[in-house]
Amino acid sequence: MMRCITLADSWKKNGGRCLIFGKIEAPSLRDRLLANGYEFFEISSEPASIVLRLKNLKISNAWVILDGYHFGPELHDDLINLGLCVLCIDDGAKLSRYPAQVILAQDGDILSYHHKAPPSSLILSGPLYRLLRQGIVEKSKKKGVSSNNAVILVTFGGADTKNFTLTLVKVLDKILNKDDYVIIVLGSVNKHRDSVVQALEKVAYEYELLQDVEDMSELYFRADLAISSAGGTAWEIAAAGLPAVLISVADNQKPGADFLARVGAAIRLDEPSEIYSKSFASQFKNLLSDKQKRVAMSEVGRNLCDRKGSQRVVNILDALDQKRLKHHLFRVRKAVSSDMDQIYRIATDPDVRANSFSPTPIIFDNHAHWYTARLESLNTAMFVLELEGIVVAVVRYDRIEKCADIDLAVHSAFRGNGLGSYILKETVSDALYYLDVSILRAIVLEHNLASRHCFIKAGFTDNGYENIKNEQCALFTFEER
């Protein structure tokens, strides 16, 4: 729910209207939503109930954000059939198929080809699109222990059904000094407060117990180290520059914990039971005493998530509405290795294959080898048109003596907006210069009317038709001026 609200905040900030559907157990959260001007509808999470309510409200031309493991592809279909657009917040690419127009896959290791989605679907993958609350922006800083005594933040989400907080309260009493300070935060629907209070009465360290904290930014700022579950809060902690020990309390949290640990923003425990081990106590003490390592972890976390993910998503949703297409958000740049996954998805679009001289499907491993070779080749210049990290179009120029042949493709979600001619106009001069050629040539299958129009609009000369590889083709050229 919280990441949906974060996205809703950005949408509302951009002047949009937001309706929130769901079930909220914490009265304080419901009160905050109403106070902030949201229209809230408490309904069951059954797909039929959601579809019926939206149908009765006669809502059209709207985005529906789905966040829940039980929201399967059939619900996507039903909503799309109502004329609505669907964004699916996805963890793990586990659905059998993804009809949604946009898939928000925030885990760092999920690539777009892992999703069984139509070519027209946009897949927003990685930390760039993390839906983090904006309050942490102003408070982020490099972390080093500010005094001789450590300040530890302990937080395990909204419910903490297994009461890991209680476990940590007891374990830390065997690790910390009496002058160390622990900030314990209980979620809004945590039902274990009494047991935690009783345990805290017996500890030697100083502490502060809080519950249902609306703005965590001040606590991230005060702490030197966090112990947290590996859900959404773990990414906030990383973005705030706070080193952390992460404990995966659910299977869906393991990929995020693995990623944050691998890049160096956190330390993870393989299993929650490791909390009791001597190795955890030793590792924790070493981390507290190693200021240099904590500062390095802080820097990695702050660079990993720039806290603009929700605004990026809103800008992309806006761009999918042709009436609100904002060209200043697009950027033309040279292709880089990290674009390989997205370019693969564009290249394997059936429409792109049908307009190619090699219409057979492409295997990803073969694409990876080919793409790496193209980037390294002095005979190739490749450029992409990027929107908030999404590759919207790609153009490749391959030198053949004093001429360079062109290969152009636009993501199907953005076709019809003139973006193909736009990237051509922006790159032809660079292609001529980088490849040291005087002519650029495009060979277009005769039936591909959209591409033919694109090259004419970009200022290319129409050179008529020619039979190439047993196909009737239109030829277009652009000469150095």
Q: Is the pLDDT of residue 60 over 90?
A: no
| Fold equal for 2-132 and 135-304 | yes
The answer to whether 298 and 242 have CB atoms below 8 angstroms apart is yes
C-alpha closest to that of 446 among 468, 478, 422, 414: 468
- Domains of the chain, by residue range, sit at 2-132, 135-304, 325-479
What span, in angstroms and rounded, lies between the C-alpha atoms of 437 and 478?
A: 11
Class of domain 135-304: alpha beta
Give residue-wise pLDDT tens across range 158-182: 889 899 999 999 999 999 999 999 9
Give residue-wise pLDDT tens across range 68-121: 878 999 999 999 999 999 999 988 788 999 999 999 988 766 666 688 999 889
Q: Is 191 helix (H, G, I), strand (E, B) or coil?
A: coil
Q: Is 403 helix (H, G, I), strand (E, B) or coil?
A: strand
Q: How far apart, in Å, are the Cα atoms of 96 and each of 37, 92, 115, 362, 400?
A: 37, 12, 9, 21, 44
Pick the CATH number of 325-479 from 3.90.1570.30, 3.40.640.10, 2.60.40.3500, 3.40.630.30: 3.40.630.30
What is the number of other CB atoms lying within 10 angstroms of the CB of residue 205?
19
What's domain 2-132's architecture?
3-Layer(aba) Sandwich (3.40)
Q: Is the pLDDT of residue 145 over 50?
A: no
Give residue-wise pLDDT tens across range 284-337: 999 998 999 999 999 999 888 877 899 999 999 988 876 566 677 899 999 999
Q: Dihedrals φ, ψ of 462, to 5°?
A: -80, 115
- Residue 144: which pLDDT band, with cuts at 50, 70 and 90? very low
Q: Where are the beta strands (DSSP E) in 13-79?
A: 19-22, 39-42, 63-67
Dig out the tokens for 21 from the structure.
């559907």
- Residue 266: which pLDDT band, with cuts at 50, 70 and 90? very high
Q: Look up the pTM and report it.
A: 0.86
- 41-45, 143-147, 264-268: the lowest-pLDDT one: 143-147
Dig out the tokens for 366 from the structure.
């073969």
